[in-house]
Amino acid sequence: MPNELAYVLINPYTIYKSRTGGVLSRLLSRSSSLRLAGARMFAPSRALVEEYIAALAAEVSDQPEVREIDFLVQQYLREQYMPGPDGRPKRVMFLLLEGDDAVVRLRDEVVGSVIRQTVGETVRDTYGDLIRDKHGNVIYFEPAVLIARTPESARRHIDIWLKYSDTDSGILHGIVPHPPGARIEHTLVMIKPDTLAQSRTRTGTVIDLFAKTGLYIVAIKVIHMSVAQAMEFYRPVRDVFVEKFAERVRDRCRAALQSAFEFSIPDQLVEHVAEQLKVPNADHEFGKIVQFMTGLNPWQTPPSAWNKPGLETCLALVYEGIDAVAKIRAQLGSTDPSKAAPATVRKEFGRDVMINTAHASDSPENAQREIAILNIAENDLKEIVARFSQ
């Protein structure tokens, strides 16, 4: 079976109802052969929606039952994807998934039919609805997500969304309405490699926990952090480590010197040795963080390779809202999971101060800094798709 690229559109209503995490959990867990290749938030323009509808209209099925659904989807797009009466666009999450026979597997194993065939198994079983009155007329339709039916249509649809990706996607500013005069903040959440690697459902569950804050996702991106990015991202931590671990270095020096010699080691000598070792020790601890986030030991990686994408996968999200930084930090929990409050992300899933599920910015200023380091606004969809066109 060929390695393919498939797409999923998480609908505005699904996002609004904070079902994004649940959908992601199913997308990543229902088929072990599918991997998340890319993600980006869109605020679709009228032109994008119209071109997408036209592509779907050209693919209407000859089968009456399927044909009815095709027309329902087109009408749904006109009502739910078009900018509102005030001209404000909607939020749509665009995901790219790769894997063997990805389009068919996504359609049959993960998303499922609009017409319910099972209970609670697929995305649409749980989050979609098709309700008819006693005469058989459709009175409510919510497909939860939109996908392509065939690999050929997937390629056409992806090309349409790529065409508008520079103008209609990125970090969505001014899309979500807020009370007049409200002090709106943006903050970064980065779901760490341990979360994505250990459980195919955990990423979605973590996003569901952050949904309790009432904040809005305005950007999303799959990140393969380079060594250079990780070193800049965690640079403030490196300076902190020098003094944070100074006492531990001093104790280890005293114990090591005392065990090596039969006479008492003067405190002045211990202090001198510890002073020489506290910076190398901080660099070693710092290198462990960089390696955890990138899969590469910075001190064993040539500087010429520091800007190459790392071996680990993270998922970055930008949240918007009133007091966004404090709300996300509270829901994340203490850096040390053993000290985190109940029902917080790190209490539920963290293991220690490094393997602690996710990172969140600690101030609006640091959020801006971290978002810039990770190039969240940069459009990487074209690069991802290009790899499958070679």
> 39: closest CA among 85, 74, 91?
91
For helices 235-244 and 246-260, angle between their N-to-C axes, nearest 10 degrees: 50
> 105: closest CA among 174, 30, 214?
30
To the nearest 10°, report the CA torsion of 305, 310, 315, 316. -20
Burial zone of 339 (CB within 10 Å; 0-12 exposed, 13-18 middle, 19+ buried): exposed
Specify whether the CB–CB gap between 99 and 4 falls below 8 A: yes
SS3 of 376, please? coil
Sequence-distant (6+) residues with CB within 8 A of 242 are 278, 279, 282
Marked catalytic residue, from 135, 178, 186, 359: 359
* Amino acid letter, 251: D
SS3 of 356, please? coil
DSSP label of 87: S
Q: Which residues pair with 9 in a beta bridge?
A: 94, 146
Query: What are the DSSP E strand ranges found in the chain?
Result: 3-10, 35-42, 92-100, 129-132, 138-142, 145-146, 184-191, 216-223, 314-322, 358-360
Q: Which residues pair with 99 in a beta bridge?
A: 4
- Rounded-to-integer distance, Cα 179 and Cα 322, Å: 10
- 359 is annotated as an active-site residue: yes
Burial zone of 283 (CB within 10 Å; 0-12 exposed, 13-18 middle, 19+ buried): middle
382: left (phi over 0), alpha (psi -120 to 50) or beta: alpha
State the catalytic residues: 359
